[in-house]
Amino acid sequence: MVDLDSLKKQVQETVDEKRSLLEKIAKYLYDNPELGSEEFKAFKLLTETLEEHGFNVEKGVYDMPTAFIATYKGKGPGPRVAVLAEYDALPGVGHGCGHNLIASSAIGAGIAASKAIKDLAGEIMVIGTPAEEGHGPSGGSKVIMANHGLFDDIDGVIMLHPSTSWGVGNQALGISKCRMVFKGQTSHAAASPHLGRNALNAATLAYMATHMLRQEARRDANLVIHGIIEEGGEAMNIIPDRAVLDFGVRSSDQEYLDEMVDKVARCGEGAAHAMGVEVEIDKHRFYASKKLNYPMVRTLWQNYKDLGAPVKDWKESVQAMPMASTDYGDVSQKAPAAGSYIGIAPTGTPGHSIKLAEATMTQTGLDALNTGAKALGMTLVELLAKPEILKEAKEYFDSH
Ligand SMILES: [Zn+2]
Ligand SMILES: [Zn+2]
């Protein structure tokens, strides 16, 4: 009979022992911010650290040079649980999204959990997922990994993200893109307008029709439609023969999102028909919405709570209005997953800012890193020690 409490205690002790290593990793990434798909320094440090701690590391997976899968096996075959690391920075604001702490906490959680699972069946994984911010060929790497089936046989996935408050189980909006290219006929705008077919008029009509969809939107699905007129003609005395609209459509409900993207596309088709121009419509999923898994959320939340972290009640978090989109959404559509936020900066600190980057290096930021690594590590161990949680998570996943 495994004593889960003492294993969790051991995880906490290891994270404390590794405190300076974890802070060094966070600082090194902070000092050497790298854009997505180019995180070579971070990749080297993270993979070397995991290898030094006995992990088997597959590097450059799925043709993404800075992606990795690190595995540490327990006592024999059993469930597989994973923590995800991000390590890409942003132009101008360095680690303004705080991914240096995501990487460091995942490494800390993985190492600490690895030392506590020698009597447990199964394995833990630390998965290095580059370019979360979408930069470069590995952009949205979790989507690429999800499409390759990586998460299909992983039983539980967790991670954290720095923020201005603490919480577990927040929703995320799915985002799909819908780009419309209208093609008409140029003509002199005053002398021979009757010979032209105005692509901009069709685009304008499509833009307005898309606005009108909003009235019928499902209120519980957090629909957001945002778009721009990318091209609208060359000169005012020429009837435009080409106009381009680019829309982002977001919702917390993936099925509903797919349905709404079709409706937005229909606005383009209808407008083109009305104005007698042609339209080409390219619609595709970008990031999926997050599929919440309550058993996973509850387990991760309880570990934060036990550590004394000021986490909101998870029931509040799962109902909070989702604001952003992430490639973690695609992971959650493939495997039972839970995400968490650690509070490193005062309320009102903007995301993607130098202020948030600086907050990762404050005492508050580094203390949050320590707590986050512990909560993630304890959860990895708990999931292997109590496979019934994973079973419940799988049942929940299949039925939602
Ligand atoms: Zn970001
Ligand atoms: Zn981020």
pTM summary value: 0.91
CB 311 within 8 A of CB 379: no
Query: Which has the closest alpha carbon to 325: 220, 252, 259, 263?
Result: 252
* Alpha carbon of 99 to ligand 2 centroid (Å): 6
Query: Which has the closest alpha carbon to 126: 400, 396, 377, 392?
Result: 377
Where residue 5 falls among pLDDT bands split at 50, 70, 90?
very high
* Alpha carbon of 98 to ligand 2 centroid (Å): 6
Per-residue pLDDT at 189: 96
Ligand whose nearest atom lies closest to the CA of 160 = 2
Average pLDDT over residues 40-59: 98
Ligand whose nearest atom lies closest to the CA of 86 = 2
Per-residue pLDDT at 114: 98
Reported as a single tens digit per residue, the pLDDT across 176-200 is 999 999 999 999 999 999 999 999 9
* Alpha carbon of 96 to ligand 1 centroid (Å): 7
Could you tell me the CA-to-CA distances from 10 to 4, 113, 307, 325 in Å, in that order? 10, 9, 13, 35
Question: Residue 157: beta bridge partners?
Answer: 82, 337
- Domains by residue range for the chain, with CATH: 4-172+290-398 (3.40.630.10), 174-286 (3.30.70.360)
Reported as a single tens digit per residue, the pLDDT across 281-324 is 999 999 999 999 999 999 999 999 999 999 999 999 999 999 88
Per-residue pLDDT at 323: 83
Query: Which has the closest alpha carbon to 8: 378, 395, 397?
Result: 378
DSSP reduced 3-state for 372: helix
Where residue 265 falls among pLDDT bands split at 50, 70, 90?
very high
Alpha carbon distance 15, 83 (integer Å): 15
Query: Which has the closest alpha carbon to 338: 282, 274, 371, 290?
Result: 290
Query: Which has the closest alpha carbon to 177: 249, 74, 100?
Result: 249
Where residue 6 falls among pLDDT bands split at 50, 70, 90?
very high
- Taking each helix axis from N to C end, the angle separating 19-31 and 40-52, rounded to the nearest 10 degrees, works out to 170
- At residue 338's C-alpha, the angle toward residues 337 and 342, to 5°, is 150
Ligand whose nearest atom lies closest to the CA of 134 = 1
Q: Rounded to an integer, what is the distance from CA 78 to the centroid of its chain?
A: 27
Per-residue pLDDT at 90: 97
Average pLDDT over residues 253-261: 96
pLDDT at residue 1 tops 80: no
Ligand whose nearest atom lies closest to the CA of 93 = 1
* Alpha carbon of 324 to ligand 1 centroid (Å): 9
Exposure letters 118-144 (e unless 16+ CB within 10 A, then b): eebebbbbbbbbbbbbbbbebbbbbbb
* Alpha carbon of 303 to ligand 2 centroid (Å): 22
Alpha carbon distance 219, 352 (integer Å): 28
- Taking each helix axis from N to C end, the angle separating 99-114 and 363-385, rounded to the nearest 10 degrees, works out to 40
Ligand whose nearest atom lies closest to the CA of 133 = 1
Q: Exposed (0-12), middle (13-18) or buried (19+): which is 77, by Cβ within 10 Å?
A: exposed
Average pLDDT, the chain: 97
CB 74 within 8 A of CB 383: no
Per-residue pLDDT at 334: 97
Average pLDDT over residues 139-166: 97
Where residue 170 falls among pLDDT bands split at 50, 70, 90?
very high
Per-residue pLDDT at 2: 81
